Structure 1
Amino acid sequence: MRIAEIFHSIQGEGMLAGVPSVFVRTSGCNLRCRWCDTKYASWEPEGEEWAVDAVLARVREYPARHAVITGGEPMVARGIHALCAGLRAMGMHITIETAGTVAPDGIACDLASLSPKLANSTPLPGEIGEAWRERHERDRWRPEIVREWVEAGPFQLKFVVEGAADLEELEGLVAVLGDRVRPSDVFLMPQGTDLPTLAGRERELVDLCLRRGYRYCPRLHIALFGNRRGT
């Protein structure tokens, strides 16, 4: 499997924010989010080929008991099911960070961190080839697959939001998923990779959370380390 990086840090987002974790970032993605902050694992995938056993051996070097499988889109990585099975055998808590465009198919997972993409993620004309723009727009929201993840086990829904203008779309997506999704399962995370941008959006998102019962999702790793790889 192609791996962009493996590192030890704290989880910066969602219900496990602050938990020491080993991050395994696979390289490659089936979407092209215009604001992607890990283009080295998506738009321009970097990394080397690793055997699953080698990845597991590297994870064992760290003291954390939580593993976060991220990307890119980890569910398109060759060997992802074998990797998660190996982590489960090691007794690791497994979070899979996915856009929810590929079915779980029985994968070992303790927390599905689902991040369906809103229209704000679609590249503008000229930012990427038209074929990729159309593919992204077609595939960014797969409700039947997100529903499979929701029904498979513990989950959180994490939306990257630019402002109140995204709320109608977001709530429409959540409504399609049915009663299994409670407001407290939904996290609103401001789009941005630097503190001034995040600060400019957080108040509006907090107000939305207060009104709707959603959870506000800070980007703790950016506050602590900046937008740097390996954090």
Structure 2
Amino acid sequence: MLIAELYTSLQGEGRLTGTPSVFVRASGCNLRCWFCDTPFTSWQPEGEDWSLEEIVHQVQAKQTSHVVITGGEPMLYSEMVPLTQELKRLGLHITIETAGTLHLEVACDLMSISPKLASSTPSVARAGRWAARHERVRHQPHVIRKMIAEYDYQLKFVIDSESDFAELDSWLEEFPEVRPERVLLMPQGTKLEELAARSAWLAPFCAARGFQLCPRKHIEWYGATRGT
């Protein structure tokens, strides 16, 4: 697997916010969100090819009980199947962070799915052919449906503006089995002032609808820096 970084930190997003975890960040992505906060795994993917044995050894060396496999898009790699099986055999809690466009029969305790709304699509001027490709790939209902049927899950939507609310409602209408408490709304941004401005109108929307506000606590704790 092409690995961009492996490090320990506190989980900054979702149900397990504040949990000490080792993060395994795969490089490479089948989407090109214009606001991607890890462009070194998508727009300009970088990293080194690690064997499964190397990954497992490094995870064990961190001596934490929670591992988060993220990206990029980790589900691009078929190696995820034996990797997660081995991590589970070792007794680790596994979170997988994915856009929900690809499915593998992985071992996973929390499938953290971040479906991409239309507001994530980059402009043709910036992305060229990737703009159409992103728009075509970003929503795969059959993959989402399979994931939420097989795993404990959370749905983590990046919200850029209030105009995203209508599409969010349409998305959720496709999946009536999803309870509001499974839905997490995260303000788009990598600066505290951006997050605060969007949270000001996102918080009351979450309260009214029974959704969970998902602040990006790692930005507050560490800033928008790698390895956090």
TM bin (shorter chain): over 0.9
1:126 aligns with 2:108: no
Distance apart, 1:163 and its partner CA? 2.4
1:78 CA displacement? 4.2
CA deviation string 1:6-36 (max 9, x = no partner): 0000100000000000000000000000000
Which deviations, in whole Å up to 9, do the C-alpha atoms of 1:37-60 show, x marking residues without a partner?
A: 001011110000000010000001
Q: Secondary structure at the match of 1:21?
A: strand
Q: Deviations over 1:140-176 (max 9, x none)?
A: 0111110100000200000000122101101111110
d(CA) in 2 for partners of 1:145, 1:160: 19
Question: Which of these residues, 164, 167, 170, is aligned with residue 168 of structure 2?
Answer: 170
Which 5+ residue runs of structure 2 have no aligned equivalent?
none
* CA distance in structure 2 between the aligned counterparts of 1:58 and 1:132, rounded to whole angstroms: 34
Normalised TM-score (structure 2): 0.98
Q: Which residue of 1 aligns with 2:34?
A: 34
Q: Is the 8 A contact 2:124 2:130 kept in 1?
A: no
> Which residue in the other structure is 1:221 paired with?
218
Question: In the comparison of the two structures, how many residue pairs are matched?
Answer: 228
- Is 1:136 matched up with 2:134? yes
- With normalisation by structure 1, the TM-score equals 0.97
The answer for the alignment partner of 1:55 in structure 2 is 55
Give matches, 1:93-108, under 5 Å.
93-104=93-104, 106-108=105-107
- Could you give the per-residue CA deviations for residues 171-205 of structure 1, whole angstroms, max 9, x where no partner exists? 111110122x1001000000000101101100111
- Which residue does the alignment assign to 1:182? 179
Letter in 2 for 1:139: V
Which residues of structure 1 form unaligned runs of 5+? none
The one-letter amino acid of 1:149's match is: M
Query: CA–CA distance in 1 between the matches of 2:85 and 2:191?
Result: 36
Q: CA deviation at 1:117?
A: 0.1
Tell me the equivalent position of 1:155.
153
| Contact 1:5/1:230 (<8 A) preserved | yes
The answer to whether the 8 Å contact 1:164/1:208 transfers is no
Q: Does 1:195 align with 2:162?
A: no
Q: Identical aligned pairs, as a percentage?
A: 50
Q: Is the 8 A contact 2:69 2:95 kept in 1?
A: yes
